[in-house]
Amino acid sequence: MQIYNYPLFNTWPKILSRPANNYSSINSTVRMILDNVKKKGDTAVRDYTRRFDGADLEEFRVSKDEMENAAQMIEPKLKEAIQKAAKNILAFHEIQKPPMRMIETTPGVKCWQKSVPIDKVGLYIPGGSAPLFSTVLMLGIPAQIAGCKEIILCTPPNEKGEIHPAILFAAGLVEVSRIYKIGGVQAIGAMAYGTETVPRVYKIFGPGNSWVTAAKQIVSVNDCAIDMPAGPSELAIMADESANPEFIAADLLSQAEHGPDSQVILVTTEEPLITKVLQAIDRQMSELPRAAIATKALENSRAILVNDEEQMVELINFYAPEHLIIATRNTTNHADRITNAGSVFLGNFTPESAGDYASGTNHTLPTQGWARSFSGLNLESFCKKITFQEISREGIQQLGPTIEAMAEGELLFAHKNAATLRINSSDES
């Protein structure tokens, strides 16, 4: 990790810069793949699955037998853990259901809003070096609670054309409608455009590598909504003298092992704490199977010593981390002043991995500083709002003159006339 002592404010943008994530070099290839999927459907998907995943598949959809076999292959301990995590995630997202409220803004003028589920959603679950079955829960459970009619899941197969059984078990648990053995750009294209086998969806959710991210951004322009901009994982930790350096080191490494382009940040007022944390990282790193990945990520990472707690909070809000751990004496006070973060973890006994898996909160969060303007995934992500209004004869008499005056002021006389005719009407219906 790079260490910075009392950096001046004008150096913060450079110090807190994320690893470069330029998609321009791959965009032309991504567009070509997407265009082929759009034109050739299943044929293109089959070709790309053979080329990129090494799997020669005639049938993309996961069968009922495969689902049943997957459930038998899961170790009881893991099955129980997935079920407990699902229960907590369900409980947290259930309370997000909004009540429907009606207001009479003017006598005789009633307005209200209704939350309506998105009919068809697509969930992308990465394959790669780790089977992210936890992401199935994070995406599938709120989609299920929202009431989405069709929930499509795509995930890349291995060379034998198989999906990790834990992914299939989690998908069955959250009642995914259909599961397809399709990964990468071709999966995004199949869900965005539809093929002979894969139905078109209205919004795509889920993380992925730079190719998947680029594909999501491209289809979002004209063809399909997406959850949010995405980038490599990141974690920031605010800590004072009360923090446990071993815990901090473990949390930093837990995020660093996601990928070589991940970034972790430690911000503290205590210089000795930085030394203790770095020593703990060295000790813990030797026991990690993904040590090489974490080591690479730490090259992009920072330990920053600041003057006081006020500056610590200011720097965190400037960085806008995906995940933030507050390991200080007065966690509540600091948390109240955080305005830019995806998900916040308070106290020494709240690891970031709790949110990744089982506490109940969602782990699909804004990265790359998008926490300044984006929320993490929640129940509303799977819904849209429709507004309604109903005006009575009394209401149009009350509100009509206001409509007339404003329409005339904008020189939109047909708008004015729509109100005038109703004001003067003798129609009793």
Which tens digit of pLDDT belongs to each residue from 390-402? 999 999 999 999 9
pLDDT at 129: 63
* 3-class secondary-structure state, position 150: strand
What is the bridge-based pairing of β-strands 383-391 and 109-117?
Answer: antiparallel
Q: Residue 404, Cβ neighbours under 10 Å: how many?
A: 18
Structural tokens at position 383: 């819904």
Report whether pLDDT(367) > 80: yes
Find, among 110, 107, 111, the residue nearest to 394 by Cα: 107
* Average pLDDT score, the chain: 95
Mean pLDDT of 210-214: 92
pLDDT at 128: 66
CB–CB of 89/360 below 8 Å? yes
Mean pLDDT of 188-214: 95
**Would residue 323 show up in a list of annotated catalytic residues for this protein?**
yes
- The dihedral region occupied by 358, where left means phi > 0, alpha psi between -120 and 50, and beta the remainder, is alpha
Mean pLDDT of 32-52: 97
- Which amino acid, residue 386? I
Give the CATH number of domain 392-423.
Answer: 1.20.5.1300
CB–CB of 137/85 below 8 Å? yes
**How much of the chain, in percent, has pLDDT values that exceed 70?**
99
Report whether pLDDT(22) > 90: no
Mean pLDDT of 90-116: 95
- Sketch the domain layout of the chain as residue ranges: 24-226, 231-375, 392-423
Cα angle 420-422-425, degrees, rounded to a multiple of 5? 110
Say which of 93, 164, 323, 334 is annotated catalytic.
323
Give the CATH number of domain 24-226.
Answer: 3.40.50.1980
Binding residues for NAD(+): 124, 186, 209
Q: Does the fold of domain 231-375 match that of domain 24-226?
A: yes
Residues 315-329 have pLDDT tens digits of: 999 999 999 999 999
**Would residue 93 show up in a list of annotated catalytic residues for this protein?**
no
Binding residues for substrate: 233, 255, 258, 323, 356, 410, 415
- Which amino acid, residue 39? K
Find, among 232, 295, 296, 306, the residue nearest to 266 by Cα: 306
Task: Grade residue 230 by pLDDT with cuts at 50, 70 and 90.
Answer: confident
Cα angle 362-147-231, degrees, rounded to a multiple of 5? 35
Give dist(CA 275, CA 287) in Å, integer.
Answer: 20
Task: Grade residue 282 by pLDDT with cuts at 50, 70 and 90.
Answer: very high
Mean pLDDT of 56-82: 94
Give dist(CA 337, CA 317) in Å, integer.
Answer: 9
Report whether pLDDT(380) > 90: yes
Mean pLDDT of 241-251: 97
Say which of 234, 257, 322, 404 is annotated catalytic.
322
Q: Is the dihedral of CA 398, 400, 403, 409 positive or negative?
A: negative
Report whether pLDDT(429) > 70: no
What lies within 8 Å, CB to CB, of 72 at 6+ separation is none
Q: Residue 274, Cβ neighbours under 10 Å: how many?
A: 21
CATH architecture of the domain formed by 231-375: 3-Layer(aba) Sandwich (3.40)
